Amino acid sequence: MTGPLAWLLLSALALLAPHSHSPVQWTGRPLAVVASPPRPKEGTHVHVVIALLPRGARDVVVEGGGHHAVARRSGTRLRRASLPSGTPGPLELNVRFTLHGTRYTAPGGVVFVVPDT
């Protein structure tokens, strides 16, 4: 008698538990991410090209320095985005995308922002 009640209680708790909406780390083939210029000056923009995304990837966004930019299609399986370079120092880039209903994040590399002199 207590078995079915315990199962019902555990099932109800699982439904009430908050779902995590944070992206899952991408473990597939690494993405190819190219930033231009390779050493941007502060106050300028970094242009990012993303290749080797998995077929069917959508909602592609590049993040870095507290900013994010939607990566628009640019040719066959290529995406482009532009981010503000931010303050001098390392700018870590990450790529987020959705594939088959799951949100993923993948490392995009690091560019070094130089002071504007």
Is 2 domain-assigned? no
Is 15 domain-assigned? no
DSSP secondary structure, 9-26, as one string: HHHHHHHHSPPP-SPEEP
Report residue 74: phi and psi, to 5°: -145, 80
Q: Which amino acid is it at 110?
A: V
pLDDT digits (tens), the chain, 117 positions = 666 666 666 566 555 554 557 899 999 999 999 999 999 999 999 999 999 999 999 999 999 999 999 999 998 889 999 999 989 999 999 999 999 999 999 999 999 999 987
Is 41 domain-assigned? yes
Is 8 domain-assigned? no
Residue 88 belongs to domain with CATH number? 2.60.40.2470
